[in-house]
């Protein structure tokens, strides 16, 4: 018994020394060009597949049918995934194809994975393979958006892929190539970097993707610059916007902010259809009066429309913003994930008090507003807060 143990120990030590000598001598070839042995490839694949399956156990899949999720996923896929994984109808990048293992063409492999497994892969990446983890680990909502898109990828013909990726923001706004050229010329020094933004936010900053991409037109220079700064330094986590903003120099961020802040004629999408009268009234009341019994202040003071005193320009406008985007941001604050520095702290304290129902109402209400179109409902309920009624019932006074 004792002998066996000793022999075993010696064998292990020899093996370790051998492995070390192999690595030290430099005989082992780390070249990606030579590929793996078939057995190594099988083993790595086997290990990866099982690891993903095990780690994805217990992940709950939220509803993924909201079109804004699909578009947000698509938008990010084009910039963040397609360079490695390719896309329908687009030639694949010859450089990334020489990685080892090579990034697979996803349209062919997606069906092997469940939504939870895709989520896990996209969020955490894959070790020793060059598959990167998600930039903003707290933004599960963004990862799910990518999953929502991936699940539709296999059935997508090149024709359809081109159509949806173009229609998400650009086509509804830019119109003819001449007009695009004119807008880019107006953008001046921002023009070059603007092309990247326009893919999601449009050349006129009208946003799009059914609410997947926020509207930028109508925001002040101060707010846009502040938002881009926050993304770039990572204080406002977003796996989609952080990489884009971090690539710009400070001067580029300023130029683009100036360009978008100067746009006055950006078109609006149709008003949300799902909003019934009652919801809009509830939203209007909240915007005009807040909900004092809950500690929620009137949004109008800081976000308009037509506040009595012009708010600090660093405070964003919400008029005509997409409902999906407003609701998403409020939910991020409620779950402590919005980030954005000191200004964001102001909004965090307020957003914490809101209920689901109030978030829906206020989002739909703002999304239905258009500048200059003073909403009746808001004006009607404004009178209420001006007189503070005595708490003691009349008969006791």
Partner 1 sequence: MKADKRHPITKAECPFGFRWPVAASLVTAFLLLTGCDGIQAALTPNSPGAERIAEIAWILFIGAAVIFIAVMALTLYAMIARPGRGGWIGSGALIIGGGLIFPVVTLSALLIYTLDAAGVMTAPAEGNPLRIEVIGHMWWWEVRYLDEDGNVAFVSANEVRVPVGRPVTAAVSTADVIHSFWVPNLAGKIDMIPGRVNDVTFQAEEPGTFRGQCAEYCGAQHAKMAFFVVAEEPERFARWFEHQSGPAREPQTPFITRGRDLFLSSGCGACHTVRGTPAAGRIGPDLTHVGSRVSIAAGILDNHIGTLEAWIANSQRIKPENRMPSFDVFEGEDLRAIAAYLESLK
For ligand HEC, the binding residues in 42-81 under the rule CB under 6 A are 48, 72, 75-76, 79-81
Answer yes or no whether residue 123 interacts with ligand HEC by CB under 6 A.
no
Answer yes or no whether residue 121 interacts with ligand HEC by CB under 6 A.
yes
Residue 5 or 39 having the CB closest to ligand HEC:
39
* Residue 81: DSSP 8-state: I
Binding flags for ligand HEC, 208-247, as an x/- string (CB under 6 A): -----xx-x-------x-xxx---------x-xx--x---
CA quadruple 362, 71, 114, 85: dihedral positive or negative? negative
Burial zone of 289 (CB within 10 Å; 0-12 exposed, 13-18 middle, 19+ buried): buried
Question: 30 is in the binding site of which of ligand HEC, partner 1, none (Cβ under 5 to 8 A by kind)?
Answer: none
Residue 145 or 227 having the CB closest to partner 1:
227
CA–CA distance, 231 with 365 (Å, rounded to integer): 27
CA 5 to centroid of chain Cα atoms: 57
Residue 95 or 391 having the CB closest to partner 1:
391
Answer yes or no whether residue 40 interacts with ligand HEC by CB under 6 A.
no
Q: How far is the CB of 383 from partner 1 (least distance, A)?
A: 11
- Grouping H, G, I as helix, E, B as strand and the rest as coil, residue 212 is coil
208: β partners: 213
Answer yes or no whether residue 114 interacts with ligand HEC by CB under 6 A.
no
Residue 90 or 312 having the CB closest to partner 1:
312
CA–CA distance, 220 with 30 (Å, rounded to integer): 52
Place of tokens 């896929």: 77
Task: Quote the tokens at residue 97.
Answer: 């194809």
CA quadruple 330, 124, 228, 265: dihedral positive or negative? negative
Residues near partner 1, by CB under 8 A: 290, 292-293, 295-299, 301-302, 308-312, 314-315, 342-343, 345-350, 353, 385-386, 388-393, 396-397
Question: 116 is in the binding site of which of partner 1, ligand HEC, none (Cβ under 5 to 8 A by kind)?
Answer: none
Under 8 Å between Cβ of 115 and 61: yes
* Residue 66: DSSP 8-state: -
Task: Quote the tokens at residue 50.
Answer: 């099982």
* Residue 294: DSSP 8-state: G
Answer yes or no whether residue 283 interacts with ligand HEC by CB under 6 A.
no
Question: 386 is in the binding site of which of ligand HEC, partner 1, none (Cβ under 5 to 8 A by kind)?
Answer: partner 1
Question: Residue 79: what are its φ and ψ, rounded to 5°?
Answer: -90, -35
Residue 10 or 195 having the CB closest to ligand HEC:
195
**Residue 140: in which H helix or E strand, if any?**
helix 140-152
Binding site for ligand HEC (CB under 6 A): 48, 72, 75-76, 79-81, 83-85, 96, 99, 101, 103-104, 106, 109, 112, 118, 121-122, 126, 129-132, 146, 150, 193, 196-197, 199-201, 213-214, 216, 224, 226-228, 238, 240-241, 244, 248, 256, 286, 296-297, 299, 301-303, 315-316, 318, 326, 329-330, 340, 343-344, 346-347, 350, 362
């Amino acid at each position: 018994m004792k002998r066996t143990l000793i022999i075993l120990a010696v064998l292990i030590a020899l093996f370790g020394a051998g492995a070390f000598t192999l690595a030290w001598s430099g005989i082992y070839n780390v070249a990606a060009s030579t590929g793996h042995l078939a057995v190594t490839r099988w083993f790595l694949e086997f290990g990866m597949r099982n690891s993903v399956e095990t780690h994805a156990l217990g992940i709950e899949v939220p509803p993924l049918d909201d079109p804004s999720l699909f578009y947000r996923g698509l938008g990010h896929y084009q910039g963040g995934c397609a360079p490695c994984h390719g896309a329908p109808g687009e030639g694949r990048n010859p450089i990334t194809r020489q990685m080892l293992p090579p990034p697979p063409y996803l349209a062919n492999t997606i069906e092997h994975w469940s939504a939870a497994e895709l989520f896990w892969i996209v969020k955490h990446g894959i070790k020793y393979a060059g598959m990167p983890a998600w930039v903003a680990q707290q933004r599960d909502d963004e990862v799910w958006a990518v999953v929502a898109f991936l699940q539709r990828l296999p059935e997508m013909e090149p024709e359809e892929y081109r159509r949806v990726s173009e229609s998400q923001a650009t086509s509804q706004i830019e119109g003819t190539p001449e007009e695009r050229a004119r807008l880019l010329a107006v953008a001046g020094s921002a023009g070059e970097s603007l092309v990247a933004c326009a893919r999601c936010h449009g050349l006129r900053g009208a946003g799009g993707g059914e609410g997947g991409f926020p509207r930028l037109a109508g925001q002040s220079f101060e707010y846009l610059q502040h938002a881009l700064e926050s993304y770039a330094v990572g204080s406002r986590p977003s796996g989609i916007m952080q990489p884009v903003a971090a690539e710009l120099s400070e001067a580029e961020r300023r130029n683009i902010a100036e360009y978008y802040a100067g746009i006055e004629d950006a078109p609006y999408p149709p008003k949300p259809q799902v909003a019934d009268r009652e919801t809009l009234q509830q939203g209007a009341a909240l915007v005009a009066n807040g909900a004092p019994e809950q500690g929620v202040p009137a949004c109008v003071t800081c976000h308009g429309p037509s506040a009595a005193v012009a708010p600090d320009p660093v405070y964003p406008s919400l008029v005509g913003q997409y409902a999906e985007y407003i609701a998403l941001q409020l939910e991020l604050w409620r779950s402590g994930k919005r980030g954005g520095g000191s200004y964001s702290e102001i909004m965090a304290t307020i957003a914490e008090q809101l209920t689901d129902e109030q978030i829906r109402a206020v989002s739909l209400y703002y999304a239905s507003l258009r500048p200059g179109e003073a909403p009746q409902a808001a004006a009607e309920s404004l009178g209420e807060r001006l007189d503070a009624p005595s708490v003691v019932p009349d008969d006791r006074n």
